[in-house]
Structure 1
Amino acid sequence: MTTPTTPLTRYLGAAALAASVLATAACGGSEAAAEPPAESELAINEERCSTNRDAGTITYISGYFYQASVSQLEVFAAESLGFFDAVCLDVEIQGGVGDIMANSQLVSAGTAHFTPIANEAEVVQANQEDHDVIGIATYGHVPIASLLTGPDVEDLKELEGQTMGRPGMLAAPLEAMLNAAGVDVESIEQVESGYDPSVLPRDQVQALTAFRSNEPHQLDAMGEEYREWLPEDFGVVGSFGVMATNPEWAAQNRTVVEDFLRAIGKAFEYCGQEENERECVEYAAALDPTGEFDVDHNLQVWASESELVRASTPDETAVGYIDLNLTEAETQNLVDNGVLDDMPDLEPLFEPHYLEAVYVAGNVSWPAEEEKE
């Protein structure tokens, strides 16, 4: 999931060096990565390997630079750990600047091949903008967004007539939560507040939209008190960390899509082990051109989000599974909030079969290891 953990201004110097998003620093295509692994190190057979190599360079553009979010850190780690090499994929990693819709447009145009999208509702919205993308894996099945207030707020209706800060548009799960709580949302003054959560304890705003893997940790580090309101406590369905690709390209490169998911699934398993978390986050730090990557904070981001993924994934179910019933419930928030006029046909917008092809009983299939057993 791409939830900004660092003010965008910190990256402006690095971003100015790039003529476009696709010109930012990449880790793929290096001399080391260009060397194919020995046949004994391959996770797939030689025929499949040849098919994947023939696809050429595969471009992944992150949602927000190199932060350790679900749907990003696994990709960085898969590259560094050699998992992409093991499935014969030449993956180039590009750092996005937080504009998910721009990224989806690049994938739709075929300029990039994979990108994370914040949630399933935004896959729907991207297609409403005529960006031809599909969701191929959904890692989190609860909303990542939360609402922060002062510790004395006992009812969300107390926010009526108050000021709410938000870094971007109000997330659909939060608007649905406020509606479910009977709040007159129109009575709340909404202001752009950036990514500094200290505006809440300073009482510059009386409520603050947040990502539960980010701002709460920052406020905790400041020693500030707050109350966090979660959409699912009000019956609101949501998701986070969706991997997207171009449907036509994916259909033409089935093994590439499957093995990309296979490699990042293997990386999720590795990085999800507590003893490996710091190692994986340091892979992300090594990509950051600013030299200001906060490893400790990003460890908290990864630990929070990966735990939410595990907690929202049923036993013996593939991490990243797609459930269109949940997708429909989430999309209904957009209809109820007036973002969409009616419910679109969701089935063409999500394709679970690529992911299902690389999981067995909830575990990533890694053929080379299975042959040794």
Structure 2
Amino acid sequence: MLTNRKRKNAVGALLLIVVLILVTAGCGGGNSNSSESSSPTSSASVASPSASSSSSSSPSDGTPTGIDWAARKEANKAAGKIRYTTGYYFAASSPDVQAVMADELGYFKELGLDVDIQPGLDSQGMKFLAAGQAQFSSAGNPSLVITSVESGAEIKGVATFGSVGVNALMVMEDSDIHSPKDLVGKTLGYKGAIPSYVISMLNSEGVTRDQIKAVSVGYDPRILDGKVDALTVYKTNEPFIMQKAGYKVRLIDPGEFGGETSFGVVAVNSKFASEFPTAVEDFLRALSKAHEYALQHPEETLKAMQSRSEAGYDLEAETNRWAVESKLVQDHLPEGHGVAWQTDVQWQREVDMLVKAEVIKAALPLDRVMDNSFINSIYDGTTLIWPK
């Protein structure tokens, strides 16, 4: 027989167990995101001063009710000096334009971030990230991040400005090439290595690599006039050069033939992201706000980019670059989401293309190469959450 005291203790213990079970169950649900990947680093952001505001607790004007901005700012200051390396010096391309303008407009400082912007090339930037010598870097496309991870780099893509590709095949306007099958027996010029999107385009119409003549060429697109039949290009660059030189050209979009890519990736050092999740969120927050400003003030934006360049700066060409690229970004914003939002689909198609092109040996899990949790946290629908 239990004494009254022992009976009371037993009942109390039982009630405590029930309470613990209910609390545990309550903490485990209600914050899932079925459509977006979330790597192990994303769990750290929940415990940060971000109090990561859910869209249900944020009014429509973008002012969050659950974020202690003073605490976030202190957490961000603890990250110390943050180095960001650009993708192609100070060319007017995403996310470099956004990073420069966020710095110029004081958005980084407003969020407690001390950011140092270093010009360079994205291939170098991936190495700096991997070595911990930079915390953020621009990557021209997801493929660069994916191949770097396969090589052992502990980095991830955390935002992507362009949800469609900036690459294309360029032919003369009167060319009889209109699709990949028309390349059979023709000469294709490429730079460095044949891009994986070209392999995907050829595969889409049953064309094999040995059915075309692919040659490595230089950077003068006028080679298209009589020396090659088609040329791999950027929509933002070579067409403008040819137009200025008086040539009429036409673009074949890889996205129409199974070769869709993305551009304007923000990559982060994985260790830094796990240690300072609010700094990652707020770095992206500053870039997203700066993007809106750059759209509304293109001339001021281009002058800011020019002022940072230590070499000659072709303002006319860079103005064209930003005009074309920003239109690609804005015309293809993911429905219901803000700029730089990235999806599993974007990254998976890039992984698949790299495997088919035999650039990487096997498909990498998405949570090894990208993390959507940071970009997810800074928006209420299409509205950027910003301190008022």
Q: Please, what TM-score do these two structures have when normalized by structure 1?
A: 0.81
Number of residues of Structure 1 aligned to a counterpart in Structure 2 = 320
Contact kept, 8 Å, 2:89 with 2:309, in 1: the verdict is yes
Partner Cα separation in structure 2 for residue 196 and residue 106 of structure 1 = 30
Aligned-partner SS, 1:170: coil
Determine the structure 2 residue equivalent to 1:287.
308
What are the Cα deviations for residues 317-337 of structure 1, in whole angstroms up to 9, with x where unaligned? 021122112321221111222
Moved more, 104-113 or 116-125: 116-125
Deviation at 1:257, TM superposition (A): 0.8
Determine the structure 2 residue equivalent to 1:334.
354
Contact kept, 8 Å, 2:177 with 2:183, in 1: the verdict is no
Deviation at 1:44, TM superposition (A): 7.8
Determine the structure 2 residue equivalent to 1:244.
267
Matched AA of 1:264: L
Matched AA of 1:256: A
Partner Cα separation in structure 2 for residue 70 and residue 177 of structure 1 = 25
Determine the structure 2 residue equivalent to 1:118.
140
Determine the structure 1 residue equivalent to 2:42.
none
Matched AA of 2:136: F
Give 1 or 2 for the bigger CA radius of gyration: 2
Partner Cα separation in structure 2 for residue 162 and residue 236 of structure 1 = 19
Contact kept, 8 Å, 1:44 with 1:367, in 2: the verdict is no
What are the Cα deviations for residues 41-66 of structure 1, in whole angstroms up to 9, with x where unaligned? xx983332222222211100111110
Q: Aligned runs of 1:46-125 on 2, under 5 Å?
A: 46-96=70-120, 98=121, 100-125=122-147
Aligned-partner SS, 1:112: coil
Deviation at 1:365, TM superposition (A): 1.3
What are the Cα deviations for residues 279-315 of structure 1, in whole angstroms up to 9, with x where unaligned? 111111011101x211121111112111111222223
Partner Cα separation in structure 1 for residue 299 and residue 68 of structure 2 = 28
Aligned-partner SS, 1:219: helix
What are the Cα deviations for residues 226-258 of structure 1, in whole angstroms up to 9, with x where unaligned? 221101111333211110001111110111111
Aligned-partner SS, 1:65: coil
Deviation at 1:130, TM superposition (A): 0.7
CA separation of 1:44/1:208 partners in 2, compared to 1, >3 Å: closer, same or farther?
Answer: farther
Aligned-partner SS, 1:367: coil
Contact kept, 8 Å, 1:318 with 1:356, in 2: the verdict is no
Determine the structure 1 residue equivalent to 2:328.
308
- Counterpart of 2:365 (choices 345, 348, 366) is 345
Contact kept, 8 Å, 2:196 with 2:353, in 1: the verdict is yes
Moved more, 105-114 or 46-55: 46-55
Determine the structure 1 residue equivalent to 2:32.
none
Determine the structure 2 residue equivalent to 1:134.
156
Aligned-partner SS, 2:215: strand
1:321 matched to 2:345? no
Deviation at 1:222, TM superposition (A): 1.7
What are the Cα deviations for residues 352-373 of structure 1, in whole angstroms up to 9, with x where unaligned? 11111111111221112xxxxx
What are the Cα deviations for residues 54-91 of structure 1, in whole angstroms up to 9, with x where unaligned? 22111001111100001111111111111112112111
What are the Cα deviations for residues 152-203 of structure 1, in whole angstroms up to 9, with x where unaligned? 22344343333322222222112211222333322333333222211112x2
Aligned-partner SS, 1:148: strand
- Counterpart of 2:318 (choices 274, 298, 322) is 298
Contact kept, 8 Å, 1:281 with 1:295, in 2: the verdict is yes
RMSD of equivalent CA atoms: 1.8
Contact kept, 8 Å, 1:115 with 1:245, in 2: the verdict is yes
Partner Cα separation in structure 1 for residue 339 and residue 102 of structure 2 = 16
Partner Cα separation in structure 2 for residue 279 and residue 44 of structure 1 = 33
Determine the structure 2 residue equivalent to 1:271.
294
For structure 1, which runs of at least 5 residues remain unmatched after alignment? 1-42, 369-373
Determine the structure 2 residue equivalent to 1:146.
168
Determine the structure 2 residue equivalent to 1:205.
228
Contact kept, 8 Å, 2:73 with 2:112, in 1: the verdict is yes
Partner Cα separation in structure 2 for residue 344 and residue 321 of structure 1 = 21
- Counterpart of 1:224 (choices 247, 252, 274) is 247
For structure 2, which runs of at least 5 residues remain unmatched after alignment? 1-66
CA separation of 1:321/1:112 partners in 2, compared to 1, >3 Å: closer, same or farther?
Answer: same
- Counterpart of 2:217 (choices 193, 211, 217) is 193
Moved over 4 A (4+): none
Aligned-partner SS, 2:288: helix
Q: Please, what TM-score do these two structures have when normalized by structure 2?
A: 0.78
Contact kept, 8 Å, 1:153 with 1:227, in 2: the verdict is no
Aligned-partner SS, 2:84: strand
